[in-house]
Amino acid sequence: MDQLAVPDFSAGAMENWGLITYREAALFYAPDVSSEADKQRVTNIIAHELAHQWFGNMVTMSWWDDLWIKEGFATYIATLGMEKMCCKWNAYEEESLDNMLAILSTDAYCSTRPIHQPVTTANQIGGLFDPITYRKGAVIIRMMHMFIGDMAFRLGLNNYIERQAYGNAKQEDLWQALTQIAHDHSSLPKDLCLQTIMDSWTLQKGYPLIKVRRHYTNKCAVISQSRFKLQPEQQPNARQDQLFEQKRQYCWLVPISYTSELAHNFNSTEPQVWLRCTPKGEPLPLRLRYLPGEFEWIILNVQLTAPYRVDYDSCNWRLLIDALKGLDFQQIHVLNRAQLIDDAMTLAWTGQRS
Ligand SMILES: [Zn+2]
């Protein structure tokens, strides 16, 4: 594989098969002068372009509306490669968190768009090279990796690449290959397929806010979802299309993993339950049972698997805040500590928490 730095190259890099070209600055690294962060940046871009040899080159999207598959995979696979190469960087956790927090911020605006975006004219193509394609693409691929497990993810991708090699593919081809393996490995309920789950994340814009209301005497909780927006729902003088958008019902198939203070299982990212939708696409609330009592916190979205925010009832928030302020705060996984702080600050910003 030849890699070439090109003066005044306009893009950061281009994954041409057999001859990857880079903007000169993207490859600059001098051991005595450059920082560790420079080394990480150069490694990241090389890993991204190498990942494209499979995702983009060996299998190319059929049309630009599936651009996110090659860019999402290149972004995500690059972090796996960096983690393998130099674990002291902690690249997998850092990059995953960076992508997740960026998306939880930008994808909460009304002006956001779905990852899978119809493209009918040439001038729509350039606009697709944005954080939704790269970062949200990587975020939902990581979510899928975590909910079907490593073995099914690897075998499913092998099947997908073998079937589609030297040709074109749509996102449906990817879901088909992964569903088959995930069902064979019992890592996905038989009544769910990847297409139904992932369509809810790729065809709808935004992401959900999950509300958790615990019933401490019954040791259960009711969880429900609605689209999270940074801006108010109703806007004065809204146009007809904006009014339609305000009334539109959003619903995602959400993998729900959770743990509690005593169970303390931050290693298992596979969902205990799925938050689902009615056949008409309306959100269905769900009851979590066998939860601990009033002196123990619970936390959803182990290791920040899926892009959603969580708003607990005041009592559970208080238990979590006390845990974060205590000496033993590291009992909560670092990614979930970041999640709690980001969710609390954002919900305060929107006036949903004080
Ligand atoms: Zn790329």
Q: What is the mean pLDDT of residues 165-178?
A: 96
- The first and second tokens of residue 187, run together, are 């890592």
C-alpha of residue 14 to centroid of ligand 1, in Å: 7
**Which residues have their alpha-adjacent CB atom under 5 A from ion ligand 1?**
71, 74
For residue 297, give the nearest of 272, 270, 331 by alpha carbon: 331
How sure is the predictor about 235, in pLDDT bands with cuts at 50, 70 and 90? low
Packing angle of the helix pair 91-106, 36-51 (nearest 10 deg)? 80
Residue-wise pLDDT for 151-164, tens only, equals 999 999 999 999 99
Domains of the chain are 2-191 (1.10.390.10), 207-349 (2.60.40.1910)
Distances (CA, A) of 141 to 68, 129, 167, 307: 10, 17, 21, 11
Q: Decide: 73 and 55 in contact? Cβ < 8 Å.
A: yes
Distance CA 332, CA 322 (A): 12
pLDDT at 246: 66
pLDDT tops 70 at residue 132: yes
CA-closest candidate to residue 335, choices 99, 39, 83: 99
Asked if residue 236 has pLDDT above 70, the reply is: no
Assign 276 to helix, strand or coil: coil
| pLDDT (0 to 100) of residue 94 | 94
Model pLDDT, residue 240: 67
For the cut 80, the answer to whether the pLDDT of residue 215 exceeds it is: yes
- Check whether 234 has a pLDDT greater than 80: no
Q: Where residue 10 falls among pLDDT bands split at 50, 70, 90?
A: confident
Distance 210 CA to ligand 1 centre (A): 32
Least confident of 86-90, 194-198, 250-254, 268-272: 86-90
Share of the chain above pLDDT 70, in %: 95
Span 135-160, mean pLDDT? Answer: 97
Nearest residue to 78 (alpha-carbon basis) of 66, 90, 95, 61: 95
Provide the residue type at 344 as one letter.
A
Q: What is the pLDDT of residue 87?
A: 83
Residue 273 has what pLDDT?
97
pLDDT at residue 354 above 90? no
Strand partners, 16: none
Determine the Cα–Cα distance for residues 60 and 55; give it in Å rounded to an integer.
7
Mean of pLDDT over the chain: 94
Give the residue carrying structure tokens 């609330």: 285
pLDDT at 64: 96
The annotation places the binding site at 48, 52, 71
Contact criterion met (CB below 8 Å) for 277 and 283 = yes
From ligand 1's centre to the CA of 188, what distance in Å? 29
Nearest by Cα to 207 from 73, 13, 346? 346
Query: Tell me, what's the ipTM?
Result: 0.99
pLDDT at residue number 11:
87
Which residues line the annotated binding site for Zn(2+)?
A: 48, 52, 71
Q: ∠47-50-56 over CA atoms, to 5°?
A: 125
For 71-127, the pLDDT digits (tens) are: 999 999 999 999 998 889 999 999 999 999 999 999 999 999 999 999 999 999 999
**What local confidence, expressed as pLDDT, does residue 123 receive?**
92
Q: How far is ligand 1, taken at its centre, from the CA of residue 67, in Å?
A: 9
Would the pLDDT of 245 be above 70? no
Residue positions annotated with a catalytic role? 49
| pLDDT value at 335 more than 70 | yes
State the pairing for strand pair 309-312/208-215.
parallel
State the pLDDT confidence band at 195, using cuts at 50, 70 and 90.
Answer: very high
Residue 313 CA to ligand 1 centre (angstroms): 41
Decide the pairing of beta strands 298-300 and 258-260: antiparallel
Across residues 205-211, what is the average pLDDT? 98
* pLDDT(36) > 70: yes
Report the distance separating Cα 160 and Cα 165, nearest Å: 8
What number is the average pLDDT over the span 213-220? 96
Q: How much is the pLDDT for 190?
A: 95
Tokens for 224, please give them: 């429900």
Chain CA centroid to CA 205, Å: 13
- For residue 255, what are the CA distances in angstroms to 190, 208, 268, 275, 301? 15, 12, 12, 7, 8
